[in-house]
Structure 1
Amino acid sequence: MARTLDGLVLAPVADQDPGQVGTRTRFAYHERDGEVWAEYAGGDVVRGHLVGTREGDRLDFRYVQLTRDGATSSGHCVSRVVELPDGRVRLEETWEWESRPGRGTSVVEEIPADVQQVTGDGR
């Protein structure tokens, strides 16, 4: 099993469609006894939360978010936790909106501590 996600900050490696997470979005992860949760914000996302479970290297969670245009959305995601050769964590994600049409894949990676920033102001 890859190392704990608790206390890590991750960011997408590429932008998604407008109104979704992007390279300026920061995810602050927490993990305890098989439970995972995170707060996220940045770019088009003003505020987002995810909550779910971890079993081995598999995360299964639901997410909700508020975007700068005032829209709320929710969905489901399954991720695989991968430890990169340099020791950082990568999540390889398969997600699907539940509140609107759409599905896809994405990758988020741990970012170095000197560039970590999680804000609630959507920037």
Structure 2
Amino acid sequence: MAASFDPVSTSASVSLEGRVFAGVSNADTGQVSSATQFRYHEDGGVVWAEYDGGEIVRGYLVGTRDGDRLSFRYVHLATDGATASGVCDSVIQVLSDGRVRFKESWAWESRPETGTSVVEEIR
């Protein structure tokens, strides 16, 4: 059974503070995987997270939230020693089990590729 969501009544009001996410799917040009964990924080429309795992040694993102939408920039250090940065826009969805999912569209600023990804809350 596929998970459902209600983006109108719950995704705009759910807090991201303290939630932990992992990659579910990503474009081939992305570096986030199921081994990558994001630890989110939120305060008054400002969002930020620390992330690591898989190909990523350490990463940070910071941006803003407007209802069910996130807009942020990210930067990280990969296991090969290269740094990378980019921009991402996400739509927040709440799954039927109460977990949160982000559907993301991103673009590297440190190289030419773009892509889409999905990350979901883990418990």
Given the two structures, how large is their TM-score scaled by the length of structure 2? 0.87
- Runs of 5+ consecutive residues of structure 1 not aligned to the other structure: 113-123
Unpaired runs of 5+ in structure 2? 1-11
Q: For residues 19 and 45 of structure 1, do their structure 2 counterparts lie closer, same or farther at Cα, with a shift above 3 Å needed?
A: farther
Q: Which of 54, 63, 79 matches 1:43?
A: 54
Provide the C-alpha distance between the structure 1 equivalents of 2:56 and 2:40, rounded to a whole number of angstroms. Answer: 16
Q: Which residue of the partner structure matches residue 37 of structure 2? A: 26
- 1:8 and 2:8 correspond: no
Aligned-pair identity in percent equals 61
What's the RMSD between the two structures over aligned residues? Answer: 1.3
Aligned counterparts of 2:31 and 2:59: Cα–Cα separation in 1? 10
Which residue number corresponds to residue 120 of structure 2?
109
Alignment-derived partner of residue 82 in structure 1: 93
Query: 2:22, 2:28 → 1: CA distance?
Result: 15
Q: Indicate conservation of the 8 Å contact 1:19/1:68, yes or no.
A: no
Deviation at 1:19, TM superposition (A): 7.0
Q: Structure 1 runs of 4+ off > 2 angstroms?
A: 14-19
Partner of residue 111 from structure 2, selected from 86, 100, 107: 100
